[in-house]
Amino acid sequence: MGLFSGLSEKLNHIFSKLTKKGRLTELEIKTAMREVRVALLEADVNIGVVKDFVAKVSERAVGQEILKSLSPTEQVIKIVNEELIALMGATNAKLAVSDNLPTVIMMAGLQGAGKTTLVGKLGFMLKKQGKKPLLVACDVYRPAAINQLKVVGEKAGCTVFEKGQGNPVKIAKEGVAYAKSYGFDTVIIDTAGRLQIDDALMRELEEIKAAVNPAEILLVIDAMTGQVAVEVAETFNRRLEISGLVLTKLDGDTRGGATLSAKAITGKPIKFCSVGEKLGDLEPFYPDRMANRILGMGDVLTLIEKAQEAITEEDAKKMEKKIKENSFTLDDYLTQFETMKKMGGIKDVLSMMPNMGLGASKFKIREEDVDEKKMLSMKAVIQSMTKKERQNPNIINSSRKQRIAKGSGTSVQEVNRVLKQFEQTKQLMKQMKNNKAFKF
Amino acid sequence: MGLFGKLKAALSKTKDGLAKKLGGLFSKDKIGEDFYEELEDILISSDVSVKTAMEIVDEIRETAIKEKCRDKDYVIDLLKKELFETLDYAEPIEFTPPVAIMVVGVNGVGKTTTIGKLANKFIKEGKSVSIAAADTFRAAAVDQLSVWADRAKVRIIKSDEGADASAVVFDAVSSAKAKKTDVLIIDTAGRLHVKANLMEELKKMDRVLKREYPDAKIIKLIVLDATTGQNAYNQVETFNEAVGIDGIILTKLDGTAKGGFIISLSYELEVPVCFVGTGEKIDDIEDFDAKEFIEALF
């Protein structure tokens, strides 16, 4: 259908072979979980995390009753999704604020994770919130790192405190003292990238922490990180007791399984996502979007849930019958749009579809495709038809079209367009009926 | 320390981890499904893709069954041999002067550092080297490269931040031609491969390079961060489509990341690895050697 991609396609394939039974059996779950495992591993979720996760999901899935409104695929995905979201925790974009100002925020991470850029983005964000942040340059190792922070700071409109290639612990301390005397309410400390196994440099971070007592220690993680994410996050957390995670480079096409690995091992909230090269490209973290990204699909679950709310089982049965008998009329067409509206409008629904939401620049929804005004005029056109016309659109000749156009305040072309679209939808329904994997 | 001593030392942490895991494998005496599954897991935890890991292990399993093999050490040797054949298929790239090397990659993989190391390496080989600072985008990228140029004692051709990258390439080529420079190394801005406009900029630089420097051998190297996961594949694929990639430089191998994705990359895209980065010092670059790489892993 092009609707579900990746994992759901594979699951559809597995479940298409099964007859509808009352419960998902252990064997079916096992087969499905193999695909879930592969999907998560392909997304770079750490293998240990995957094992725990799959065990947990299997336990929940075995013996579950198949809900009438969901296909087995949808049901398994629903469980997988719920567990993923639960694991990733709730949205938490709040930064701690100290009782004794300034609030100190300290960065940590591997080389190239994007710490310096992030310091600029955070400064820019705080500035917009009316705060007065001071950026402190404690990366004294990488050539030109201080210059980079100065340039970024200038763009963000933030003051940068630097003491050249001195002792980072001392610089951090002096930076905080400077902030106190000059009325800065927040201090953001940039630190050099380092390997988690570099004991001397890790000790340096511990010393900075001890010296300035930060309210936040943010571990910056490149969203493209592979299996090692667990080890990195575990070590940084053990040595520094981090307060949160920030993901960078999410504007790429990575699935971002590292998020799950880092979150699972540290239990710390994911505070922000960096989604572009501009200073304003910093977003709060949405666990549900991330879950779908990792599984390689859109917000299918939300769609499923909204469908559940909007469509009563009775409605669904009626619709199914109509599709089977191919007796889908313009009245039903109208009902369908009303349902869609209940689900949050076509734009919302589309954005929840796989490959159309977050990160998938290839499949940007064009404004003209989802013109809600056009939908309204479509509604007017259908409502201007007589009951007989709605039941059997074949009788609509040119004089009828003119009457409908007048009644709906549209044009004959508009009437033609609605009729054509209705025909196309009917064709689509026919295809859906023939596709066994798709249970309406 | 021998040529690969440093790489081996850098990989020893990796080795400890793997050896421990493998040690666990060796202790069990019967070769069962568990054994192969664990082999697969070991590959996957080194960032070899699931698909490649499955294929390689399947192949070994079949061979082992055919040969009625019951010896785990022998199976491990089979695996090493298979990995070796996967990685070692291409002729090494010859950097015969005059040569222009364009270094590309996503943000934060270590392009600038790698260029400093490369310049130093070629200087030590007795070649003349110049560097083009065509990363005109990232704040202070030119400053960073200048520091490395000083360290390697090579000439740097630069422009202001925000300048046209292709213009820098043009200037650098003119200078290299005039001074008969053996090796010209071009730094480019890190870009996520999904950004179409930035990939277009790269193509333009490539066109300028080809047009202005027809006598030079043009080599395009992509820098990959060993801590990356499966996205490395997309990176190589997209950059390859845009400008054609001749080889890979694998950086940050001094951490615990295994960089196993290069096995999948070689398996599926057939792009050879030429150098590996093993630390932050200017000498921390080695020629890639498949055998050493695999031996160091086990």
Is B52 a residue whose pLDDT tops 80? yes
Q: What is the CATH number of domain A7-88?
A: 1.20.120.140
Alpha helices in B50-186 (DSSP H): 50-66, 72-87, 111-124, 141-152, 165-178
**Among the ranges given (A73-87, A94-108, A301-315), the one the predictor scored with the smallest mean pLDDT:** A301-315
**pLDDT 10s digits, A404-424:** 998 888 888 889 888 888 887
Measured CA to CA, the distance from residue B17 to residue B34 in angstroms comes to 19
Asked if B41 lies within 8 A of A47 by C-beta distance, the reply is yes
Measured CA to CA, the distance from residue A95 to residue A105 in angstroms comes to 9
Both tokens of residue A111?
A: 């080389």
Residue B15: predicted pLDDT? 45
Residue B298: predicted pLDDT? 65
**A270 φψ region: left (φ > 0), alpha (ψ -120 to 50), beta (else):** beta
pLDDT band at A438 (very low <50, low <70, confident <90, very high): very low
Measured CA to CA, the distance from residue B100 to residue B183 in angstroms comes to 6
User: Would the CATH topology of A7-88 be identical to that of A311-434?
Assistant: no
Express as a percent the part of chain B with pLDDT over 70. Answer: 89
Q: How far is the alpha carbon of B190 from chain A, nearest alpha carbon, in Å?
A: 11
Phi, psi of A429 (to 5 degrees): -65, -40
Residue A372: predicted pLDDT? 65
| Choice between B187 and A436, residue whose per-residue pLDDT is larger | B187
**Among the ranges given (A197-206, A373-382, B142-151), the one the predictor scored with the smallest mean pLDDT:** A373-382
Measured CA to CA, the distance from residue A113 to residue B236 in angstroms comes to 19
Instruction: Say which residues have a Cβ less than 8 Å from residue B11's Cβ, sequence separation at least 6.
Output: B253, B293, B296, B297
B115, B145 in Cβ contact below 8 A? yes
Hey, which of A296-310, A328-342, B103-117 has the most confident mean pLDDT? B103-117
Which residues from B are below 8 Å from A147, CB to CB?
139-140, 143-144
Architecture of domain A103-285: 3-Layer(aba) Sandwich (3.40)
Peptide bond into A354 cis (omega under 30): no
Which residue of chain B comes nearest to A152, CA vs CA? Answer: B139
Both tokens of residue A260?
A: 């799950």
Residue A158: predicted pLDDT? 97
Task: Look over chain B and give the mean of its residue pLDDT values, rounded to a whole number.
Answer: 87
CB atoms within 10 A of CB A103: 22
| Choice between A260 and A428, residue whose per-residue pLDDT is larger | A260
Which residues from B are below 8 Å from A148, CB to CB?
138-141, 143-144
Instruction: Say which residues have a Cβ less than 8 Å from residue B214's Cβ, sequence separation at least 6.
Output: none
pLDDT band at B73 (very low <50, low <70, confident <90, very high): confident
Of B138, B145, B127, B180, the closest CA to residue B163 belongs to: B138
Show me where the domains of chain A are located.
7-88, 103-285, 311-434
Asked if B229 lies within 8 A of A151 by C-beta distance, the reply is no
Q: Taking residues B246-264, report their average pLDDT.
A: 91
**pLDDT 10s digits, A95-134:** 999 988 999 999 999 999 999 999 999 999 999 999 999 9
Show me where the domains of chain B are located.
99-245
Measured CA to CA, the distance from residue A392 to residue A407 in angstroms comes to 19
| ipTM for the assembly | 0.86
Asked if B229 lies within 8 A of A254 by C-beta distance, the reply is yes
Per CATH, the homologous superfamily of domain A311-434 is Signal recognition particle, SRP54 subunit, M-domain (1.10.260.30)
Which residues from B are below 8 Å from A252, CB to CB?
106, 192-194, 231
Q: Which residues pair with B225 in a beta bridge?
A: B251
When the candidates are 3.40.50.2020, 3.40.640.10, 3.40.50.300, 3.60.21.10, the CATH number that belongs to B99-245 is 3.40.50.300
Measured CA to CA, the distance from residue A301 to residue B114 in angstroms comes to 44
Instruction: Say which residues have a Cβ less than 8 Å from residue A262's Cβ, sequence separation at least 6.
Output: A219, A221, A229, A230, A232, A233, A245, A270
Residue type, A159: T
Measured CA to CA, the distance from residue B80 to residue B63 in angstroms comes to 13
Residue A426: predicted pLDDT? 76
| Choice between A50 and A88, residue whose per-residue pLDDT is larger | A50
Residue A51: predicted pLDDT? 93
Task: Look over chain A and give the mean of its residue pLDDT values, rounded to a whole number.
Answer: 81
CA distances from A382 to A340, A385, A423, A430, B232 (A): 16, 5, 14, 22, 52
